[in-house]
Every structure is written in structure tokens, then in C-alpha cells.
Amino acid sequence: MPVLQNVSPNGLSKKLRSSPQCVVLVALLLGVSLLAVPGDVIAQVDGQVVYNQWCAGCHGEDGAGAGPAANTMLPRPRDFTLALYQVRTTSSGELPTDADMLKVINEGMPGTAMPGWEGVLTEAERLALVDYLKTFSRFFQGDPPTPLDFGRATSGGADAIARGEEVYQMVECWRCHGEQGRGDGESAPTLNDDTGFPIFAADLTENWRFNGGGEVGEIYRVLRTGLDGTPMPTFSDIVDAGVITDEDLWSLAHYVRSLSPEDEPEVREVVTAKLLTDTPLPQTVADVVWEGTERFYVPLSGQIVVQPRWFNPRVDAVWVQAVHDGRELALLVSWGDPSESPDTLWTDFGGQVVTTMGSEDEGAATGSGTADQLVVQFPQELYEGQERPYFLQGDTRRPAYTWTWQSDIAGAFESIARGMGTAARQPDSEQHVRATAQHADGEWKVLFVRPLDTEGAEDLALTAGQAVPMAFQAWDGDNGESGSQGAVSTWYFLVLGQPTPVAVYVAPPVALALTLLFGLLVVRQAQMGSGMWREPDAAARAKRAAKRRQLAGMAVGVIWLGMAFGSYQNSRAGWEAGYADLGFWWAIIGGLLAIAGLGALIGTWIHTRTSK
């Protein structure tokens, strides 16, 4: 049996105990299909083989979490010999259940290097892995752990969220997670995991990155169990001690959930800059215009192409909002960053991160404490056939045109770059971009404003209606990031909204008038059928005519309803494209058409019935 090769004495005895050969024999004798018995299938999969093939690269063949790839990861891969598992349904300090372990194997750990394996490995392989992971620690030799009783979820709503916020203050979640939940609490810079590696307090505004899941029930579970091996403690004892009630803990979960968007943000290729016609262009990050301006989510990842590389970016995404007034573009970029670098409170943390990452790349950072930085990148000009520069600040054939903002200098500056680290600042006479920034509650907001057309030979001109490639790069200096060691996005498009065409204002009233006219005709036709306009013809002819009218009325009704649906689609498209006026008018037209269509159907039905 190949299965029995290369196994340790312990593994061998385990194999003999479960004795798959014996099971096979019995199954065959009984005429039972082996595949119908899942336990036997699992017994045939060697968890060690699966582990060594798929898991050991990060977790190490010895399970100690120090595989060949581990050095580029923070948080580090789990050390299975400690039997410390974050995602559990059991008390703090207890082992996870098999189902808990399977959940993490299936779903992965969001925000870390651990992917989900549900679609990669068969169920039998994943179950065999659970069994194999347990052999790394003697703790699993005892009785299986008992899951906690989580009781019933409360319903949530505004009251629960308000109570949850009180609990958040009372049990002092803010000490690590910050007042607004962005992981910027006063204790955040000193956090280490159980193996001594620096660890961030979770940004509670990004629930899609929560370990163990971001929905209310999952958040409640983490509050009850803690995340073992990390600084996140259990809050079960304070419920047991009567400091807060179980319902309070549920409310806290509802509140934490409310800090993130309702749905995981969707990545869209195109960032639209709405045209402002009545309001002046915002000049501050706090302008009220931004509250009504759509936010676009742009995920970032570590720059791992150009040396020195960076595998531990702090900025996982930026949110982009844009408006213009036909003369200038205002671009607001916001992202979570717990500190305003350089911040001496974070010096040790950044130093630990740099040491932990231990990059051997030439020129890699040896310390932290540089400034935070954001680069918005465009092509220097729009190249033939939509060709874009290389996404890491361009190349020699297609240079990139960049706006750079840094936390330690006022404003921003424009550069031309022909590859990472080659950005050359344009002369002062060619500087047109302005920037203002604000750091509050663990979030940077940086506002760039630039004329659409600077008439500069080296500056990209922005034209309404034209799609312009745009990309972002961000650095957190207190996380040891500088130079090529930062976070980067791929290319997106920026499209400036156009002035509403005149036809938009003319077409709807015309369509409205036509609709009304058509409606009147139909009503008149129906009234004729109902006997107002009697014809002294033979009964058979009248009956045929009535049938004809009935069909015609129904057809008209259906056609109008179809047109109403079309108008509804137009209306939606209008709203989404930022043309509220178009959306509004099409909604009116759609509404009238729907009324007319239904009226035609009902009227036809009534009148053809009464004419019998």
C-alpha cells in the first residue's frame, strides 16, 4: 500500500488502528458501495499527503508555522503545535471543534494569506486535513471540546445599534479598535500576538476582512470566544458576572456590524466624476458635497514585482470620490491608516514589522517612520488604442503622470515617471494640482484639485466624456513602507460626467404629450365600444367589431407597459450615471406609461364586458 510508505511510527500505528483495508473488506463482503460511506472515503485519504502538498509550504512540514513561504507573511501562518485557533465556537483557551477547523479550511482567513480550500480540495481531503492537523498537538488527545451555547440572536435595528455603541464605550473596545473602529486605539501600536509578532487591531469598518466572518452572528461568536493567540479577549466572563447582559453583547455585535457597509463593496472599473452645475466645486475634505457623492472602492495589494518588494501593505484599499465643474476636477481619496506618520508611538511597531518581514531584497527598508504617501497615477497622454503605461509608475515608452501627496509636506506635486522610483518632479511653473489632507479617527482624506486642461505640454488634459486610466499607490510610513515598498492598485478609468444634452430637456415633455394624446385616443375608442357611439349594424358585425376593439385595447395596454419598463430602465441608468434629471424624467414617463398601460387593459376589459 503506498499509503503506508513514509509515515512515522505514530502515523503507522494510527493507520493500523483505523485499518482501512479491513473496512474495505467488510464493505465488499456486505456488498455495500464504498463511496456511500463517507467515513471510509475519508479513511482512504491520507491527511499527511494532502497537508504536505498543500499546506506545508506555509505552515511547515512540522506544523510549526514556519514553512518556506512564511517569512513573507504577517500575520504568520498558524503554528499547529500550539493548538491555538482563533476561529472557534468554544470558550477562550478551549480547542476548536472539527467543524470550526473545517470552516477555516473551507473559507480561509480573510485579510491574511490563508485562502479558502472548498473549491480546491475534495471534502474527504479537507476532513482528512482536520484529522491530521490534530496530530500536531497532544491537546487533541483528550475529550473533544464542547461548543458554547450562543442563545438566540436579537433582531438588531436602530435601538440595538445605539445600545451597542454604549456597550462599545463601556467595555472599552476603543482602546484597541479606536473611537470609529478603524483599529487606531491607543493600545493598537503595542499589540503582539502570542508568538511575539506585531499584530494590528482589526479595522471594524471592513467586515469582509474579519477573521471568522463579518456578519452579526459571527461577530457575536468572536466576542464570546475571543480570538485565541491574539490580543482579542473573550467577553463571556463579563456576561457571566452580570456586568452586561447577553442581549448587550448581541447589541454590540449589531453595532460593530453597522460600522461596515451593508454589502461588501464591489469593485467597478469606472470612477465617474459627477458634473456639478449648481454647487461650487468642493475645496475641503469636509465639504457637504462629498456626502452625496458616490464612493468607489479600489483595492490595493503589496508591490511584489519591483525590488525591494513589500508583502505586508497596511493600506488594503482606498475609497475614491470625484466631481468636476467643467473647469476643475476634485478627487477625494480616503483610506484607513491608524497613524499620522511619522508618529513616535508607532516607531517600535514599525520597527518590529520591518524586522519580522526580514526582506533580503536589495535596498529594503531597515526601519520605519517615514511619511505616509499617496500617488494618483495617470498616463502622461492618452495612448493609441487605449494602451496604458505599466501599472507601476509607467515605462520608458509610455510614461506615467502622477500626483504625489505626503503627510510631511503641504500640498501635492506633479511628476512624470518612467518606472517605479523614477518619478521626476515637474518644474514649479508646471505644477497645477492642489491638495489638502485631514487625518482623523484612523482615516486619511486627501483632496486633489486640478484644472481639467492645464495647457501644460506634459500634463494629461482631462475632457468630459473621455475615459482616462487612473491608478493608486499608498504607503504607511509607520508600517515601514517607503520607496517601492508600498501598496498598489491596478488601472481603473476616470470618466468626467458631461453636461446634460438639450435633448434631455426637450424629449421628455414631447414624449409626455404624445403619451397623453395616445391615451385619449384609446379612451375614446373604448367609449365607442361601450355603446356611446351606437351603430345600427347587424349584431354579428357589432360582435366582430367588439372583439377587434378588445384585442386592440389589450395590445395597446401591453405595449405601454413594455414602454413603461423601458422608461424604468432608462431612469435607473440615469440615476446611476449621475444624471438625476434624466432619471427623474424617465421615472415620470415610466409612471405615466404604467398607469396608461394598466388603464388600457382594465378599461378594455370593463368596456368589452359591458358591451356584451
Q: Does 232 interact with another protein (rule: CB under 8 A)?
A: yes
Q: Which of 447, 588, 441 lies closest to 512, judged by CA?
A: 588
Residue with cell 456486505: 30
Q: What residues have CB less than 8 Å from 416, skipping those under 6 apart?
A: 380, 399, 400, 401, 402, 423, 424, 426, 458
How far from chain centre, in Å, is Cα 490?
A: 15
Q: Does 64 interact with another protein (rule: CB under 8 A)?
A: yes
Contacts (CB under 8 A) with another protein, residues 340-359: 356
With H, G, I as helix, E, B as strand and everything else as coil, classify residue 333. strand
Q: Does 93 interact with another protein (rule: CB under 8 A)?
A: yes
Contacts (CB under 8 A) with another protein, residues 356-385: 356
With H, G, I as helix, E, B as strand and everything else as coil, classify residue 349. helix
Q: Which of 6, 33, 151, 194 binds another protein (CB under 8 A)?
A: 194
Q: Does 176 interact with another protein (rule: CB under 8 A)?
A: yes
Query: Taking a C-beta distance cutoff of 8 angstroms, is the pair 474, 486 a contact?
Result: yes
Q: Does 84 interact with another protein (rule: CB under 8 A)?
A: yes
Q: Does 135 interact with another protein (rule: CB under 8 A)?
A: yes
Q: Which of 85, 136, 296, 492 binds another protein (CB under 8 A)?
A: 136
Q: Which residues of 98-131 are buried (b: 16+ CB within 10 A; e: fewer)?
A: bebbbbbbebbbbbebbeebeeebeebbbbbbbb
Nearer Cβ to another protein (191/470): 191
Handedness of CA 524, 530, 531, 536 (dihedral sign): positive
Phi-psi region of 156 (alpha: psi -120 to 50; beta: other; left: phi over 0): left
Q: Does 565 interact with another protein (rule: CB under 8 A)?
A: no
- Which range, of 171-179, 323-331, 336-344, 464-472, touches another protein by CB under 8 A? 171-179
Cell of 447: 483632496
Nearer Cβ to another protein (226/313): 226
Q: Which residues of 453-467 are buried (b: 16+ CB within 10 A; e: fewer)?
A: ebebeebbebeeeeb
Q: Does 231 interact with another protein (rule: CB under 8 A)?
A: yes
Nearer Cβ to another protein (84/353): 84
Q: Does 238 interact with another protein (rule: CB under 8 A)?
A: yes
Question: At CB < 8 A and 24+ separation, what contacts does 50-56 make?
Answer: 50/121, 50/125, 50/128, 50/129, 50/132, 51/129, 51/132, 51/133, 54/117, 54/120, 54/121, 55/129
Q: Does 584 interact with another protein (rule: CB under 8 A)?
A: no
**What are the start-end ranges of the E strands in 250-303?**
270-275, 296-299, 301-302
Q: What residues have CB less than 8 Å from 250, skipping those under 6 apart?
A: 153, 154, 160, 216, 220
Q: Which of 21, 52, 106, 187 binds another protein (CB under 8 A)?
A: 187
Number of residues that bind another protein (CB under 8 A): 47
- Which range, of 225-233, 382-390, 419-427, 449-457, touches another protein by CB under 8 A? 225-233
Q: Does 435 interact with another protein (rule: CB under 8 A)?
A: no
Q: Does 10 interact with another protein (rule: CB under 8 A)?
A: yes
Q: Does 170 interact with another protein (rule: CB under 8 A)?
A: yes
Q: Which of 226, 469, 486, 583 binds another protein (CB under 8 A)?
A: 226
For 487, the enclosing helix (H) or strand (E) is strand 487-488
**What is the spatial distance between Cα 500 and Cα 516, in angstroms, rounded to a whole number?**
25
Q: Does 476 interact with another protein (rule: CB under 8 A)?
A: no
Q: Which of 21, 180, 195, 500 binds another protein (CB under 8 A)?
A: 195
Q: Does 146 interact with another protein (rule: CB under 8 A)?
A: no
Q: Does 67 interact with another protein (rule: CB under 8 A)?
A: no
Nearer Cβ to another protein (94/206): 94
Nearer Cβ to another protein (69/588): 69
Q: Which residues of 545-582 are buried (b: 16+ CB within 10 A; e: fewer)?
A: ebeebbebbeebbeebbebbeebbebbeebeeebbeeb
- Which range, of 149-157, 189-197, 387-395, 500-508, touches another protein by CB under 8 A? 189-197
What is residue 209's DSSP assignment?
A: G
- Which range, of 92-100, 117-125, 157-165, 416-424, touches another protein by CB under 8 A? 92-100
Q: Which of 159, 186, 215, 441 binds another protein (CB under 8 A)?
A: 186
Q: Which of 46, 79, 206, 478 binds another protein (CB under 8 A)?
A: 79
Strand 492-496 vs strand 487-488: parallel, antiparallel, or unpaired?
Answer: unpaired
Q: Which residues bind another protein (CB under 8 A)?
A: 8, 10, 62-66, 79, 81-82, 84, 92-95, 135-139, 170-172, 175-176, 186-187, 190-192, 194-197, 226, 228, 230-235, 237-238, 241, 243, 356
